Amino acid sequence: MRSASAGLPPRTGQQLGSVRQRNRKSVINYGDNVDANPQETAAEPRGLLKENIAARLREEILAGRLVPGQKIIEGRFARQYGVAQVSIREALNILTVDGFVTKGHGRSARVVNLDDADITHIYGVRGVLEGLAARIITQRKLPVDDLETAFAALKAEVQNNDLRGVIGCVQRFHLLLFEKPGNPFLQEYGRRLVIPLYAFTLIRALAKNLTVSPWEQQLSQHRLIIDVLKLGNPALAEQTLIHVTNSFLEAALTVWAH
């Protein structure tokens, strides 16, 4: 599997201790088109510089100028942007966290690339993990107000016909499912699946000039997820999430994967 998590060892103990704090910012900002050319100056804070470079590189990917699987040559973009190569490397680290770039141990960064088998495997594991999350949420009778808020935001982006906003909101909704049980391992591995998946979804959707229509059709399924969590039946909630995730897989393979 060539996801952003490929080649990374499982995190345990102290490494997972900061997961909840870090994941409070759990929605990836896919942003608008970035036209400014970042230039490295003494006046610009290093953190701001790498964020600006990451935004510019992300737009290179989303515009199709860097295609899935393509190697990203740090020296080339350092020269193009007039910055130090280390700044490009730091920006690529940001894009790796955001799911747009993969960086295996000792390997160059490449644009995320998922084939049908990768996508099928991701959705298969994701269904099981979201089902477990749904079971725990239901057993503990956890409130779902945050999911209601995320769903309302998703509907608003659909009405605005904002493809980036829609995919960002869908990602946010499913990350919340992994966060709510309070299990750092479930949360961590959920993020490893969901973040690169939706980064690749956006890349393919933009490449195919899709509208928000496919995700508008999935609003009823997201509504069903919330409703089944409220019913208080853990087994039903778990099986519903697995079934819904399988339907999302079918849509992915049909609509945007190719």
The third-level CATH classification (topology) of the domain covering 21-111 is Arc Repressor Mutant, subunit A (1.10.10)
Q: What CATH code is assigned to 116-255?
A: 1.20.120.530
163: closest CA among 4, 27, 31?
Answer: 31
Does residue 239 have a pLDDT over 70? yes
Q: What is the pTM of this model?
A: 0.84
Find the mean pLDDT for residues 98-120.
93
Only one residue has tokens 């299990």, namely: 183
Does residue 151 have a pLDDT over 60? yes
Predicted confidence at residue 31, as pLDDT, reads 62
Query: Domain limits of the chain?
Result: 21-111, 116-255
Does residue 207 have a pLDDT over 90? yes
Only one residue has tokens 């808020």, namely: 149
Query: What phi, psi does 245 have (nearest 5°)?
Result: -65, -40
Does residue 3 have a pLDDT over 70? no
Find the mean pLDDT for residues 97-123.
93
- 3-class DSSP assignment, residue 41: coil
Does residue 183 have a pLDDT over 60? yes
Longest dimension (CA), the chain: 59
Percent of the chain at pLDDT > 90 equals 78
Predicted confidence at residue 106, as pLDDT, reads 72
Q: Of 39-48, 103-112, 121-130, 140-149, which gets the smallest average pLDDT?
A: 39-48
Q: Of 98-107, 141-150, 165-174, 175-184, which gets the smallest average pLDDT?
A: 98-107
What whole-number distance in Å separates Cα of residue 199 and Cα of residue 252? 13
Looking at per-residue confidence, does 153 or 17 come out higher? 153
Query: What phi, psi does 183 have (nearest 5°)?
Result: -95, 110
Predicted confidence at residue 104, as pLDDT, reads 78
Does residue 10 have a pLDDT over 90? no
Terminal-to-terminal C-alpha distance of the chain: 17
* Average pLDDT of every residue of the chain: 88
Token digits of residue 130? 């979201």
What whole-number distance in Å separates Cα of residue 6 and Cα of residue 123? 16
Is residue 244 very low, low, confident or very high in pLDDT (cuts 50, 70, 90)?
very high
DSSP characters for 211-245?
-SHHHHTTHHHHHHHHHHHHHT-HHHHHHHHHHHH
Only one residue has tokens 């020269």, namely: 79
The conformation of residue 257, written as its DSSP 8-state character, comes to -
Residues 6+ apart with CB under 8 A from 241: 127, 130, 131, 133, 134, 177, 225, 228
List, for residues 159-180, the tens digit of each pLDDT value: 999 999 999 999 999 999 999 9
Beta bridge partner(s), residue 111: 101
The answer to whether 136 and 227 are in contact (CB under 8 A) is no
